[in-house]
């Protein structure tokens, strides 16, 4: 199952709305004979990719299949994975965690056992739940998985005030190793959200130029329509402006909402199929998300610097669940329900 989880981590982001599943097949002698990950949307699921990778088909007889998430049992873009497993000759199936999707939930397990396969559920369950947290949150909470992220100084500031800024460009507190990690985080999420003041002050690109991975969809929270069309992020082909319609270019989509509350934004994001969002700021936007309680994880980059004055970072009332040192900086992680 460890190998299956590693496979799952390598699944492409664009497989959504299918989850990023990993699958490994072992023959009766304990040798790995096949493995696979979910293909981009419309392509085969991890189980079918793994089954198709087996060169000696005779070795599938009596083999064991390890998969991070319960196999699907319904017809969609592709036939059911449970059917492919049953027809393959595999006799034992080890599942990391169940799928809460009503079309799947326990149905895959039921079909496998009904056809005489031996099924074990909950193998390395915690690790599989962690890997599939975005998909599982989307299915159970009917909203994207939300991560809040910011950097702050020892004296609790995120940045100088606008009046103290010398020019319109991103103000960076953290080190290059942390910047690389942030770009890795961006590559793991479907979208990235910032407030309009950050657009006006920093003119950010919100891409993954320091990491190999896809750029997230930029979302700009602008309930009063203050954004400017010259910001670099509007060049993204799927950029979204959240606010009253203003002229930002033909490629920019607009979400015009009855109310610009966090709850309404997330309802819209869910309807649009956005699986996860990294909320990067600024302070006003982060505080709104924090106070709403509609978040799953917070990552605070603590830098060994002081500003003495500026924009205060949001206040957290608890200690981090865990921390890590990266270069000269420390990253504190907070999990929902513990704050």
Answer whether residue 52 shows pLDDT above 90.
Answer: yes
Give the length of the chain.
339
Distance from C-alpha of 319 to C-alpha of 112, rounded to nearest angstrom: 45
Per-residue pLDDT, 338:
58
**What share of the chain has pLDDT > 70, as a percent?**
97
Instruction: Convert the pLDDT of each residue in 222-231 to its tens digit.
Output: 999 999 888 9
Residue 231 lies in a domain: yes
Report the CATH number at residue 21.
3.40.140.10
Domain assignment present for 59:
yes
Q: Structure pTM? A: 0.92
Residue 218 has pLDDT above 60, yes or no: yes
> pLDDT tens, 255-291?
999 999 999 999 999 999 999 999 998 999 999 999 9
| Co-location of 244 and 322 in the same domain | yes
Answer yes or no: do 193 and 50 share one domain: no
Residue 221 and residue 190 in one domain: yes
- The arithmetic mean of pLDDT across residues 25-35, rounded, is 97
- Whether residue 166 is predicted with pLDDT greater than 80 in this model: the reply is no
Domain co-membership, 125 together with 235? no
CB 173 within 8 A of CB 303: yes
| Residue-level pLDDT at 14 | 80
Rounded distance, CA 190 to CA 294, Å? Answer: 17
Question: Do the domain assignments include residue 139?
Answer: no
Q: Give CA–CA dist 60/275, Å, rounded.
A: 35
Domain count, the chain: 2
47 catalytic residue (yes or no): yes
The per-residue pLDDT for range 117-154, each reduced to its tens digit, is 999 999 999 999 999 999 999 999 999 999 999 999 99
Q: How confident is residue 305, by pLDDT bands cut at 50, 70 and 90?
A: very high
Between helices 46-53 and 81-88, what is the axis angle to 10°? 30
Range of the domain at 45: 1-134
**Nearest C-alpha neighbor of 289 from the set 269, 309, 310, 306:** 269
**pLDDT at position 110:** 92
- CA-to-CA distance for 248 and 97, rounded, in angstroms? 44
Read off the pLDDT band of 188 (50, 70, 90): very high
- What is the overall mean pLDDT for the chain? 93
Q: Look at residue 317 in the predicted model and tell me its pLDDT.
A: 81
Same domain for 32 and 180, yes or no, is no
Spatial separation of the C-alpha atoms in residues 138 and 136, rounded to whole Å: 5
Give strand pairing partners of 229: none
- The one catalytic residue among 6, 31, 47, 125: 47
> What's CA 256's distance to the chain center, in Å?
25
Local confidence band at 168 (pLDDT 50, 70, 90 cut-offs): low
User: Does one domain contain both 124 and 39?
Assistant: yes
Q: Please give the full DSSP string across 14-81, using - where no structure is assigned.
A: GGTTS---EEEEE-TTS-EEEEEEPPSTTS--HHHHHHHH-S-GGGGTT-EEEEEEPPP-S-SSS--H
∠ CA 130-16-86 to the nearest 5 degrees? Answer: 80
């Amino acid at each position: 199952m460890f190998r299956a989880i590693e496979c799952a981590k390598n699944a492409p982001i664009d497989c959504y709305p299918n989850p990023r599943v990993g699958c490994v097949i072992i023959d009766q002698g304990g040798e790995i004979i096949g493995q696979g990950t979910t293909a981009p949307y419309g392509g085969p699921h991890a189980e079918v990719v793994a089954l198709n990778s087996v060169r000696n088909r005779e070795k599938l007889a009596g083999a064991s299949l390890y998969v991070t998430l319960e196999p699907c049992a319904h017809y969609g873009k592709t036939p059911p994975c449970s059917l492919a497993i049953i027809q393959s000759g595999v006799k034992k199936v080890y599942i990391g965690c169940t799928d809460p999707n009503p079309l799947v939930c326990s149905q895959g397990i039921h079909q496998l056992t009904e056809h005489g396969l031996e099924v074990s559920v909950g193998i390395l369950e915690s690790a599989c739940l962690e890997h599939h947290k975005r998909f599982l949150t989307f299915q159970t909470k009917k909203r994207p998985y939300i991560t809040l992220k910011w950097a702050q100084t020892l004296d609790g500031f995120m940045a100088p005030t606008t009046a103290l800024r010398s020019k319109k460009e991103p103000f960076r507190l953290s080190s290059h190793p942390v910047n690389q990690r942030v770009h890795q985080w961006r590559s793991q999420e479907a979208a990235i959200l910032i407030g309009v003041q950050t657009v006006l002050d920093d003119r950010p690109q919100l891409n993954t130029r320091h990491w190999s991975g896809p750029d997230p969809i930029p979302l700009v929270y602008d309930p009063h329509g203050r954004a400017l069309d010259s910001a670099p992020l509007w060049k993204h082909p799927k950029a979204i402006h959240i606010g009253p319609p203003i002229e930002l270019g033909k490629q920019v989509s607009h979400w015009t909402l009855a109310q610009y509350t966090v709850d309404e934004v997330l309802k819209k994001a869910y309807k649009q199929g956005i699986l996860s969002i990294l909320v990067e700021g600024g302070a006003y936007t982060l505080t709104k998300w924090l106070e709403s309680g509609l978040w799953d994880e917070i990552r605070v980059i603590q830098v060994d610097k002081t500003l003495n004055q500026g924009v205060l970072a949001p206040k957290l009332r608890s200690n981090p669940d865990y921390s890590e040192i990266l270069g000269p900086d420390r990253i504190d992680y907070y999990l929902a329900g513990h704050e």
